[in-house]
Amino acid sequence: MTFILREATARDVAALAALHVDTFRETHGGGPGVSVREQQWQRILGATGVTDFTFAVEDDSHQLVAFARGTLHDGGVPGYQGELNKIYVLRRVHGHGLGRALVYQVADRFLTQGVKSMLLFGDASSPSNGFYEHLGAVRLLSPEGDFHGAYGWPDLGELLTRRVG
Protein backbone atom coordinates (compact mmCIF):
# COMPACT_ATOMS: atom_id res chain seq x y z
CA MET A 1 0.00 0.00 0.00
CA THR A 2 1.27 3.45 -0.87
CA PHE A 3 0.34 6.77 0.71
CA ILE A 4 0.54 10.38 -0.37
CA LEU A 5 0.92 13.13 2.23
CA ARG A 6 -0.25 16.50 0.93
CA GLU A 7 -1.71 19.78 2.04
CA ALA A 8 -5.49 19.69 2.42
CA THR A 9 -7.56 22.14 0.38
CA ALA A 10 -11.18 23.29 0.28
CA ARG A 11 -11.86 20.41 -2.16
CA ASP A 12 -11.21 18.02 0.76
CA VAL A 13 -13.97 19.33 3.04
CA ALA A 14 -16.40 16.41 2.61
CA ALA A 15 -13.70 13.74 2.77
CA LEU A 16 -12.03 15.37 5.81
CA ALA A 17 -15.38 15.68 7.58
CA ALA A 18 -16.14 11.98 7.07
CA LEU A 19 -12.61 10.97 8.11
CA HIS A 20 -12.78 13.22 11.18
CA VAL A 21 -16.04 11.57 12.26
CA ASP A 22 -14.66 8.05 11.73
CA THR A 23 -11.30 8.64 13.43
CA PHE A 24 -12.85 10.55 16.33
CA ARG A 25 -15.28 7.67 16.95
CA GLU A 26 -12.46 5.11 16.75
CA THR A 27 -10.42 7.12 19.24
CA HIS A 28 -12.97 8.61 21.62
CA GLY A 29 -16.39 7.18 20.74
CA GLY A 30 -19.33 9.42 19.84
CA GLY A 31 -18.69 12.95 18.71
CA PRO A 32 -20.27 15.33 16.20
CA GLY A 33 -21.74 14.06 12.95
CA VAL A 34 -20.63 14.71 9.40
CA SER A 35 -22.70 17.87 8.87
CA VAL A 36 -21.11 19.56 11.90
CA ARG A 37 -17.63 18.48 10.82
CA GLU A 38 -18.28 19.75 7.27
CA GLN A 39 -19.15 23.18 8.66
CA GLN A 40 -16.00 23.17 10.78
CA TRP A 41 -13.75 22.13 7.88
CA GLN A 42 -15.35 24.66 5.53
CA ARG A 43 -14.49 27.39 8.04
CA ILE A 44 -10.96 26.05 8.65
CA LEU A 45 -10.00 25.44 5.03
CA GLY A 46 -11.73 28.59 3.83
CA ALA A 47 -9.59 30.77 6.09
CA THR A 48 -6.69 32.57 4.48
CA GLY A 49 -4.24 32.54 7.41
CA VAL A 50 -0.86 31.20 6.39
CA THR A 51 -0.10 30.02 9.94
CA ASP A 52 -3.08 27.64 10.07
CA PHE A 53 -2.63 24.54 7.91
CA THR A 54 -3.87 20.98 7.49
CA PHE A 55 -2.12 18.00 5.97
CA ALA A 56 -3.95 14.92 4.73
CA VAL A 57 -2.81 11.45 3.78
CA GLU A 58 -4.53 9.50 1.04
CA ASP A 59 -4.10 5.84 0.21
CA ASP A 60 -3.56 4.36 -3.24
CA SER A 61 -7.32 4.42 -3.88
CA HIS A 62 -7.29 8.22 -3.21
CA GLN A 63 -9.25 7.86 0.05
CA LEU A 64 -8.19 10.05 2.97
CA VAL A 65 -6.91 7.92 5.85
CA ALA A 66 -5.18 10.44 8.15
CA PHE A 67 -4.83 14.16 8.81
CA ALA A 68 -3.14 16.68 11.09
CA ARG A 69 -3.75 20.36 11.67
CA GLY A 70 -1.33 22.97 12.93
CA THR A 71 -2.25 26.34 14.41
CA LEU A 72 -0.47 29.02 16.36
CA HIS A 73 -0.69 28.45 20.10
CA ASP A 74 -2.68 31.09 21.97
CA GLY A 75 0.07 31.58 24.56
CA GLY A 76 -1.72 29.83 27.41
CA VAL A 77 1.33 27.65 27.96
CA PRO A 78 4.43 29.85 27.95
CA GLY A 79 7.31 28.74 25.77
CA TYR A 80 5.21 27.11 23.06
CA GLN A 81 4.42 28.90 19.82
CA GLY A 82 2.68 26.24 17.70
CA GLU A 83 -0.04 23.71 18.39
CA LEU A 84 -0.58 20.32 16.84
CA ASN A 85 -4.29 20.99 17.00
CA LYS A 86 -5.50 17.68 15.57
CA ILE A 87 -3.93 14.43 14.46
CA TYR A 88 -5.97 11.37 13.53
CA VAL A 89 -5.09 8.18 11.67
CA LEU A 90 -7.59 5.43 10.82
CA ARG A 91 -6.82 2.30 12.83
CA ARG A 92 -6.68 0.15 9.71
CA VAL A 93 -3.54 2.04 8.60
CA HIS A 94 -1.77 2.27 11.97
CA GLY A 95 1.78 1.00 11.83
CA HIS A 96 2.63 2.51 8.44
CA GLY A 97 4.41 5.59 9.86
CA LEU A 98 1.63 8.00 8.88
CA GLY A 99 1.29 9.61 12.32
CA ARG A 100 5.04 10.12 12.53
CA ALA A 101 5.13 11.58 9.00
CA LEU A 102 2.32 13.98 9.88
CA VAL A 103 4.01 15.16 13.08
CA TYR A 104 7.24 15.78 11.17
CA GLN A 105 5.40 17.61 8.37
CA VAL A 106 3.63 19.88 10.86
CA ALA A 107 6.93 20.55 12.68
CA ASP A 108 8.68 21.30 9.40
CA ARG A 109 5.96 23.75 8.33
CA PHE A 110 6.14 25.50 11.70
CA LEU A 111 9.91 25.88 11.38
CA THR A 112 9.54 27.45 7.93
CA GLN A 113 7.20 29.98 9.58
CA GLY A 114 9.69 30.74 12.36
CA VAL A 115 7.71 28.75 14.95
CA LYS A 116 10.28 26.76 16.93
CA SER A 117 8.16 24.83 19.45
CA MET A 118 4.79 23.09 19.55
CA LEU A 119 2.45 21.40 21.93
CA LEU A 120 -0.70 19.35 21.81
CA PHE A 121 -3.58 18.84 24.17
CA GLY A 122 -4.76 15.24 24.42
CA ASP A 123 -6.27 12.77 26.83
CA ALA A 124 -4.09 11.78 29.80
CA SER A 125 -5.18 8.14 29.42
CA SER A 126 -4.86 7.91 25.63
CA PRO A 127 -2.90 4.99 24.18
CA SER A 128 -1.42 7.57 21.76
CA ASN A 129 0.62 9.07 24.58
CA GLY A 130 3.35 6.48 24.09
CA PHE A 131 3.58 7.56 20.44
CA TYR A 132 4.14 11.21 21.43
CA GLU A 133 6.74 10.22 24.02
CA HIS A 134 8.52 8.02 21.45
CA LEU A 135 8.82 11.15 19.29
CA GLY A 136 10.48 13.00 22.17
CA ALA A 137 7.50 14.96 23.49
CA VAL A 138 7.66 15.96 27.13
CA ARG A 139 4.69 15.80 29.46
CA LEU A 140 3.45 19.25 30.37
CA LEU A 141 2.31 19.31 33.97
CA SER A 142 -0.20 21.60 35.60
CA PRO A 143 1.07 24.08 38.22
CA GLU A 144 0.04 21.45 40.79
CA GLY A 145 2.24 18.86 39.07
CA ASP A 146 -0.59 16.86 37.50
CA PHE A 147 -0.59 15.45 33.98
CA HIS A 148 -3.77 16.16 32.01
CA GLY A 149 -2.68 14.97 28.55
CA ALA A 150 -0.66 17.92 27.25
CA TYR A 151 2.66 17.28 25.51
CA GLY A 152 5.27 19.61 24.13
CA TRP A 153 8.25 19.71 21.85
CA PRO A 154 10.27 22.73 23.04
CA ASP A 155 12.67 22.45 20.07
CA LEU A 156 11.20 21.40 16.72
CA GLY A 157 14.67 21.23 15.19
CA GLU A 158 15.52 18.51 17.69
CA LEU A 159 12.28 16.68 16.86
CA LEU A 160 13.16 16.67 13.18
CA THR A 161 16.56 15.08 13.89
CA ARG A 162 14.53 11.96 14.75
CA ARG A 163 13.19 11.80 11.21
CA VAL A 164 14.53 8.82 9.30
CA GLY A 165 14.64 8.62 5.52
Asked if 23 and 57 touch (Cβ cutoff 8 Å), the reply is no
- Position with higher pLDDT, 1 vs 12: 12
- Position with higher pLDDT, 104 vs 162: 104
User: For the residues of the chain, what is the DSSP string, one character each?
Assistant: --EEEEE--GGGHHHHHHHHHHHHHHHHS----HHHHHHHHHHHHH---TT-EEEEEEETTS-EEEEEEEEE--SSSTT--EEEEEEEE-GGGTTSSHHHHHHHHHHHHHHHTT---EEEE--TT-TTHHHHHHTT-EEEEPTTS-EEEEEEES-HHHHHTT---
If you average pLDDT over residues 79-106, what whole number do you get?
97
3-37, pLDDT tens digit by residue?
Answer: 999 999 999 999 999 999 999 999 888 999 999 99
pLDDT at 35: 97
Among candidates 113, 116, 118, which has minimal Cα distance to 102?
118
Q: Side-chain half-sphere of 134: how many Cα atoms within 13 Å?
A: 11
Q: Are strands 82-89 and 118-121 parallel, antiparallel or unpaired?
A: parallel
29-72, pLDDT tens digit by residue?
Answer: 899 999 999 999 999 998 766 679 999 999 999 999 999 999 99
108-161, pLDDT tens digit by residue?
Answer: 999 999 999 999 999 999 888 999 999 999 999 999 999 999 999 999 999 999
pLDDT at 1: 85
Amino acid letter, residue 9: T
Is the per-residue pLDDT at 91 higher than 60?
yes
- Position with higher pLDDT, 128 vs 105: 105
Domains and CATH numbers, the chain: 3-160 (3.40.630.30)
pLDDT at 163: 79
How many other CB atoms are found less than 10 A from the CB of residue 1?
A: 8
Is the per-residue pLDDT at 164 higher than 80?
no
Beta-bridge partner residues of 64: 58
